[in-house]
Chains A and B, each alone.
Chain A
Amino acid sequence: MKALLICEYREGKLLDASYELAAFADKLGAEKAMVLIGSEAEVPKVNGTVYLADAGKYGEYNPDVHKKIVLAAVERENPDYIVFVHSSYGWDLAPRVAATLKAAQISEIVNIVDGKFEVGICNSKLRRNVTPTTGKAVLTIQAGAFSVTDASQGVPQLERIDLADGASSLEFVGYEPAEKKDVDLTRAEVIVSAGRGVGKKENVPVIASLAKALGGELGASRPVVDAGWVEHSHQVGTTGQTVSPKLYVACGISGAIQHLAGMKKSDFIVAINKDKDAPIGEVADVLVVADVLQFVPALTGMLQK
């Protein structure tokens, strides 16, 4: 069994997530080859073939061209699986490769169980095992689900890929950096976060008061930020900040993977949720089953005494 792993590369650097692909292939028991559209200086340290195409020439984000590069590697390597990270790069490119090959795609794999791929559905409240029925399959793996155990120290064998036709229907204009932060959540020892379960903007101070009573900062889930209740600099998760405070209190947050990715390394996690089955319960040390708007003021009151 052979897996072709598509590395992630951005702003001139190989992203660490690329090594998670290798960890996945090892768990699957597959022979590895990799594709890097990047630079020679950043080639991953793994044993096996690494197909290298020059990002200086083909661009860091150029899906039409990257698709052709991946297909050229598929042609040479003839893998059973073509594997991406489920990220803004991977979920953009994977379906393009799959559609061209007419291969099944299985998205955001969290585990391998008896050789079958397990994915989450309904906000991870259920799991689903999926099997491709095509000879080749395209897979994307959940970021963080396959952890890298040892620092890779292999010696790659480079093979270059050059395309005759680099035409693209899309023009990459440039990156826009993240907004300036007015709080640095990564330094906070205590974070109390508001989720959609707080109901409306007017209720956010209830959560902020608890944060204050615990000597911590206010955090938030994404919908709360999107709705403009709280500034983006307070957002926790894959598209916000990654935090690991001594205490994280999630108020009315369901526990979507993109939120968990930003806070699950916290030392101690308390979740307050009216839904006993909310996925946040999976990572919480204490789950308080209650209405946040009733429980939080009671808790804050008791702390202030």
Chain B
Amino acid sequence: MKVLVCIKQVPDMESRFKANSSGNWYDEADLAFRMNEYDEYAVEQAVQLREQLGDAADVTVISIGPDRVQEALKKALAMGCDRGVHVQDPVSSLKDPWQIASIIATFAKDKGFDLIFAGMQSQDRGSAQVGVTVAEQLGYSCATTLVGFACSDGVITAKRELEGGLKGVVKLKTPALVTCQLGLNVPRYPTLPNIMKAKKKEILSIPVADILKEEALATTTSVHPPARKGGGIVLEGDLNDMAAQLIGILKEKTAVLR
């Protein structure tokens, strides 16, 4: 079984963000980047499938972006993927989801992947589009928002998460693409020996111009901080002072303390 996993590198969400000087994205300076959280579940599920099937499975991991995304690829390899593909694009950020999906679909076409894993959304942009769009472009069957996954004899049983704790169970046949939701599994931490082993694994580099044929369908006209509602009280400083102040406020404003 040939498996592809799509991963994106995103900034740590605890960072301070500000718009860049052209006002069309965020300023990348001083940001620490990591693998998109949803994609960690995708990698883990692919690696678990590889463990289930042994050498009958082969897992490729792909990421589009500037050179820094190799760090995310290396992590995926250390978690157990077999090979990496880096589509080199210093300005992947300026692509819309349609283009990112087209790049992945163009790469995957004719390679006979039976199963493709993606995250349900990215943490920074969160369109929740790329996975489904790749499936549409390839004509693959597709299920989104998985919190349960099982695969046997080319049939996937997927548990989709709906709202309020409800779930929906579906079956689909390969070739298929699934998108992974938080909590699908417990992503492993790469161990030191596996990090060392991963260094020997291949990362193929492809310049984006070789495989991108599509124009963007949407443009960003501005990036800006949200309008502040204000109103809230902000407490800073000494712990005991803040605790006393907070108790005072709760006594005054709520009926829960007397």
B170 touches A61 (CB 8 A): yes
Q: Please encode chain A, from 93 to 125, with 1 for each CB lying within 8 Å of some chain B CB and 0 for all others.
A: 011101110111111100000001000111111
Q: Give which listed residue, A63, A179, A275, A303, contacts B247 with CB less than 8 A.
A: A303
- The B interface is mostly helix, strand or loop, or mixed, namely mixed
**A72 interface contact, C-beta 8 A:** no
Q: A215-B256, A239-B163 are in contact. List 15 more A-B contacts (CB 8 A).
A: A88-B161, A92-B160, A95-B128, A96-B142, A99-B101, A103-B217, A107-B129, A125-B17, A131-B218, A131-B219, A226-B183, A227-B186, A239-B161, A286-B246, A288-B246
Tell me the minimal C-beta distance from B33 to chain A in angstroms: 13
B219 touches A288 (CB 8 A): no
Q: Give which listed residue, A124, A170, A227, A238, contacts B143 with CB less than 8 A.
A: A170
Q: Give which listed residue, B15, B125, B132, contacts A95 with CB less than 8 A.
A: B132
A239 touches B165 (CB 8 A): yes
Tell me the minimal C-beta distance from B98 to chain A in angstroms: 7
Give how many B residues have a beta carbon under 8 Å from the other chain's beta carbons. 83
Return the chain A residue nearest B139 by Cβ.
A169
Stretch in B42-50, B84-92, B227-235 with 4+ CB within 8 Å of A: B227-235
A87 touches B254 (CB 8 A): no
Return the chain B residue nearest A100 by Cβ.
B136
B254 touches A132 (CB 8 A): no
Interface residues of A (CB under 8 A from B): 10, 61, 63-64, 86-89, 91-92, 94-96, 98-100, 102-108, 116, 120-134, 137, 169-179, 189-190, 214-216, 222-223, 225-227, 232, 238-242, 246-247, 254, 267-268, 270, 275-277, 281-282, 284-290, 294-295, 298-299, 301-303
* Bound complex: CA A238 to CA B165 (Å): 8
The listed residue with most B CB atoms (<10 A of its CB), out of A124, A170, A225, is A170
**B53 interface contact, C-beta 8 A:** no
Tell me the minimal C-beta distance from A270 to chain B in angstroms: 7
**B70 interface contact, C-beta 8 A:** no
A276 touches B234 (CB 8 A): yes
B98 touches A88 (CB 8 A): no
Q: How many A-B residue contacts, CB cutoff 8 Å?
A: 257
In the complex, the 7 A-B pairs of residues with the closest C-beta atoms, listed nearest first: A178-B165, A99-B136, A104-B217, A226-B183, A95-B132, A169-B141, A173-B169
Return the chain B residue nearest A170 by Cβ.
B172
* Bound complex: CA A215 to CA B14 (Å): 31
A275 touches B219 (CB 8 A): no
A232 touches B232 (CB 8 A): no
B144 touches A88 (CB 8 A): yes
Please name 17 pairs of A and B residues whose Cβ atoms are closer than 8 Å in the assembled complex, sorted by A.
A61-B170, A91-B121, A92-B132, A98-B98, A99-B98, A104-B218, A106-B218, A128-B222, A172-B170, A174-B168, A174-B169, A176-B169, A238-B163, A239-B165, A290-B235, A295-B239, A298-B243
Contacts of A96 in B (CB 8 A): 132, 136, 142
B223 touches A121 (CB 8 A): yes
Return the chain A residue nearest B137 by Cβ.
A99
- The A interface is mostly helix, strand or loop, or mixed, namely mixed
* Bound complex: CA A103 to CA B160 (Å): 26
Contacts of B186 in A (CB 8 A): 227
Interface residues of B (CB under 8 A from A): 11, 13-19, 26, 96-98, 101, 120-121, 123-129, 132-133, 136-137, 141-145, 157, 159-173, 182-183, 186, 216-226, 228-229, 231-236, 239-240, 242-244, 246-247, 249-250, 253-257
Contacts of A267 in B (CB 8 A): 254
Return the chain A residue nearest B214 by Cβ.
A102
Return the chain A residue nearest B173 by Cβ.
A169
Tell me the minimal C-beta distance from B236 to chain A in angstroms: 5
A176 touches B159 (CB 8 A): yes
